[in-house]
Amino acid sequence: MKTKITRRTAILGASATAVAAGTFKLAAPAIAQNAPIKLGGVATLEGPFATGGQDGYRCVTMELERRNWTIAGRRVEFIRESSNAQADVALARARKLIEQDNVDMILGPLSGAEGIALRDYSRTLTGKSIINGSSGAADTTLRNPSPNFFRFNTDGTQWMAGLGNHVRRVMNIQDVAIVAGDYAFPYAQVFGFNIEFCRAGGRVQHYWAPLGTTDFGAQIAQINRSNARALVVVHGGTDGLAFMTQYAQAGGQLPLIGGSIMADATMLSSRGPHRRLMVGMISGGPIADINDDPMWRDYVARYRARWLNEGGFQSPSIHGVNYATNLQGIIAGLEAVSGDLSGNQAAFQRAMSAAKFKNPMGADVSLDHNRQAVSDIFLNRIEERDGRAQTVAFERARQINQTLGVPEAQFMALGAPSRDNPGCVAA
């Protein structure tokens, strides 16, 4: 029987993802093997990123099914909660999972401000762990990290590695307009792009809009009158679709550079006038629809077989892959300690910190001293293949850390990403 994704569904299970655990293996614990591990999930099944949250749960379910719902000899109870990309809602759902459902750990959330809220909440917990889902705000782990919060996916700043230099040095574009959401995740993306682009001599005009904006007409009119020679779009979900639809209807013609969630399956699977503009768009991120690595080809095949007839995409979304990657980190930790969560999860957390494995894209994943992923980033181009628009990886930067290779003290001195500090510093 296949699992239907609903708002509050408890299912028993575990994952079949092959992961390499940390550098040590503990003896089998004296635990009741019939006691399930209680895994809570927080993802956006409501609001502008609902399709991403649904795909996050698809990829988690697929991997849990592969192990016949067992990790390290213990059954897993997966209790799912829904948020709407708002920090207060995600926090309320997390509290419910911890305080009422008594979960051992949480996998989530999806959006940037939600991640910061759950990071802060994790500091108040003893004997519990929160493992990120897909949220990508830089400061979730870079500044004031919590010892109980782990992120095995790269963040929004890392996802832009190489893109600013490509636009300025390869495409030879000096002036760009950036349209972006006015919240934590787009701040990180814009910061990562600008660090390279501005230091290479690029000039930027920023246009910010709150999450949930539906009318971009005034911004589009300003962009069309500007000196911009390319448009960088750092929106996603329904915001990205609304902006791109209105830009196409207004006759927009600038070359497009995409933030990571602009060039995702959730956007490319939507019909509308935006599609003709997006072909040829360059973007950066942790995944691509077309990637020659055999691990990715196998993962896509399994995803299609499981979900294509049940609402899934032709290729897993960025959020789905991120949730699956973070689940791999959980599995690695549990297998290293033979499922033992005693001692306030101290050994389990050490094992997660030491975990090393390959994610679905075939990229090596490890954690830094802030429990933040170091992994590979891809530059992608949208092309029409097999009758549909797909992202095609054309360049791969290996083992990108959270400070993009800049010494940490120097990077931290630049300040936290925000609309007032977008990272555009001249060389």
Alpha helices in 371-413 (DSSP H): 408-412
Q: Is the peptide bond preceding residue 417 cis, with omega within 30 degrees of 0?
A: no
Give the model's pLDDT for residue 159. 96
Angle at 213 between CA 81 and CA 113, to 5 degrees: 40
Nearest-5° Cα angle at 315, 314 to 316: 130
Compute CA distances 336 → 26, 255, 368, whole Å.
6, 48, 18
Q: At a CB cut-off of 8 Å and minimum separation 6, what does 425 contact?
A: 194, 195, 198, 199, 414
Helices vs strands, H then E, count in the chain: 14, 16
Distance separating alpha carbons of residues 20 and 425, to the nearest angstrom:
40
CB atoms within 10 A of CB 16: 16
274, 245 contact by CB (below 8 A): yes
171, 397 Cβ separation under 8 angstroms: no
| pLDDT at res. 25 | 40
Best CA proximity match to 183, nearest among 255, 254, 135, 216: 135
Query: What confidence score (pLDDT) does residue 34 get?
Result: 66
The identity of residue 207, as a single letter, is Y
Identity of residue 146:
S
Q: Note down pLDDT in tens along the chain; length 427 residues.
A: 333 343 334 333 333 333 333 333 444 444 545 699 999 999 999 999 999 999 999 999 999 999 999 999 999 999 999 999 999 999 999 999 999 999 999 999 999 999 999 999 999 999 999 999 999 999 999 999 999 999 999 999 999 999 999 999 999 999 999 999 999 999 999 999 999 999 999 999 999 999 999 999 999 999 999 999 999 999 988 899 999 999 999 999 999 999 998 887 778 877 778 888 899 999 999 999 999 999 999 999 999 999 999 999 999 999 999 999 999 999 999 999 999 999 999 999 999 999 999 999 999 999 999 999 999 999 999 999 988 889 999 999 999 999 999 999 999 999 999 999 999 987 6
Tokens of 274: 């935006």
Q: Which residues contact 285 (CB under 8 A, 6 or more apart)?
A: 159, 260, 261, 263, 264, 318, 377, 378, 380
**Would you give the distance in Å from CA 332 to the centre of its chain?**
19
Q: Contact at 8 Å (CB) between 81 and 93?
A: yes
Q: How far, in whole angstroms, is CA 104 from its chain's centroid? A: 23
Q: Are 44 and 82 in contact (CB under 8 A)?
A: yes
Amino acid (1-letter code) at residue 142: L
CA–CA separation, 244 vs 250, rounded Å? 10
Check residue 387 and give its pLDDT. Answer: 86
- State both tokens at 330: 């959980």
Domains of the chain: 10-154+292-375 (3.40.50.2300), 158-290+376-412 (3.40.50.2300)
The 3-class SS string of 252-278 reads: CCCCEEECCCCCCHHHHCCCCCHHHHH
Q: CB-based contacts of 315: which residues, under 8 Å, 6+ apart? A: 265, 289, 300, 303, 390
Which residue(s) pair with 74 in the sheet?
71
